[in-house]
Structure 1
């Protein structure tokens, strides 16, 4: 182990272990939130633009943040999302594309407008929303929507026996594929669950998010993994050096066999002759 070549290998292992130790420290720093959000901050209504921007992922502490924004509904983009539960009852969400007011470029956010117990009720509500949005005497003033900002649930393909346009997840990415007038459109990754439902729909039950502990156990697990990897680097050096030592012993024994390896028997034969 004190030969120059194995000291060089040990130095290399020290460098590798140091990198692993730094990665473990980095994971620990990310595991503990030293500046958590104050309790109840998600219940303060904030402007949407102050919380996140189009195309950005919603940080974990801000999931469920109450926000408000203004805009107009895009006709033809009221869609139904199935398998939505409201206070334990399964039903449907009616969603819409809200084209935001005051943006430098066309910008929209997906909004869950309300809940319906049956598809027929959801379709009736959509018919009313379409009529209001497309009416010639519809007011030009934008509407203000207040609700909770929720992360994208991710698209999910429908069953083979369902129409290909069936939606069972609240995913702005999936909704975008069925929206109109989307050329050069900026879209928010999270969606907005409205607190007040449109006519013919039920308010969506969206309680305040539970307060987090400020500790990310997954990051702590990763930090422990890096510590194990650092220890394995030293074990690898020890194992390689020991294997080389054992091989040298085997080669030496092969070149210099002892009495138990045939030397005594040869000597006895020589004496007998």
Structure 2
């Protein structure tokens, strides 16, 4: 059988089978690498402060790789546009967020979560202080994507989600566009507590579907070599039968 395998025809077929098997193996390795799904940005990347405009654009949704990125921006807070969000969880429990309307020199708007308060009265008191003495225009914080409005947001006097689509209707002047996310400020004004905003998770999880595809490609690679072997063996068996006359024939 190996004499048949050394014929030029079958050597060429073996080379072709190995090329096909190598391609399938490469596809299997690619699927296996995709099966390990981790954070698309590392903690080192997310904690490196970058300008907001370098990772986000007004009127555009945030890219997934920018979620949790630490950014810096310059923006003036628009008086009268502070918003209180209820049922916001922090390290001390449920409470209220105070959100400001930041406006960049370009005119673009950005929602900035300034801090957490235990009660609505405390949040209102903090807003009164912010109106009297606006916070610094230089802001550093964590960039997060917009949230979806909750059912409670449509009830009178309640609002719990930081939804950019809703803020557009609340803020009278966003003609220059608004970012599709918000910034949790690291600097907390007086009367408020810092909002807990940890770095994005970088834990790795296993995608079993991609593992299954990887195993499939490996099986295909082995089958390509086996098919070559099976064809060579078939030729060998056929030639052997031709060389050995049938004992039943006189």
What is the TM-score when the length of structure 1 is the normalising length? 0.59
Report whether the alignment pairs 1:66 with 2:67.
Answer: no
Aligned twin of 1:186? 177
Aligned twin of 1:120? 121
Q: 1:207 to 1:179 in 2, by over 3 A?
A: same
Q: Cα distance, 1:158 vs. partner?
A: 1.7
Aligned twin of 2:166? 174
| Separation in structure 1 between the aligned mates of residue 62 and residue 176 of structure 2, nearest angstrom | 19
| Separation in structure 1 between the aligned mates of residue 165 and residue 73 of structure 2, nearest angstrom | 20
Aligned residues: 186
| Separation in structure 2 between the aligned mates of residue 55 and residue 44 of structure 1, nearest angstrom | 24
Contact 2:153 2:159 in 1 (8 A): no
Q: 1:212 to 1:120 in 2, by over 3 A?
A: same
Aligned-CA RMSD value: 3.2
Aligned twin of 1:111? 112
1:99-178 to 2 correspondence within 5 Å?
Answer: 99-101=103-105, 103=106, 106-133=107-134, 143-158=137-152, 162-163=155-156, 166-178=158-170
Contact 2:37 2:207 in 1 (8 A): no
Q: Cα distance, 1:127 vs. partner?
A: 1.1
1:184-223 to 2 correspondence within 5 Å?
Answer: 184-213=175-204, 217=207, 220=210
Contact 1:64 1:208 in 2 (8 A): yes
| Residues 22-61 of structure 1: per-residue CA shift (max 9 Å, x gap) | xxx9xx6987779954552101111101111112222223
For structure 2, the residue ranges without an aligned partner over 5 or more in a row are 1-27, 217-250
| Separation in structure 2 between the aligned mates of residue 205 and residue 30 of structure 1, nearest angstrom | 31
Match of 2:58 among 51, 54, 59: 54
The higher radius of gyration belongs to 1
For structure 1, the residue ranges without an aligned partner over 5 or more in a row are 1-24, 134-138, 228-273
Aligned twin of 1:41? 45
What is the TM-score when the length of structure 2 is the normalising length? 0.64
Aligned twin of 1:246? none
Q: 1:210 to 1:75 in 2, by over 3 A?
A: same
Larger relative contact order (C-alpha < 8 A, sep ≥ 6)? 2
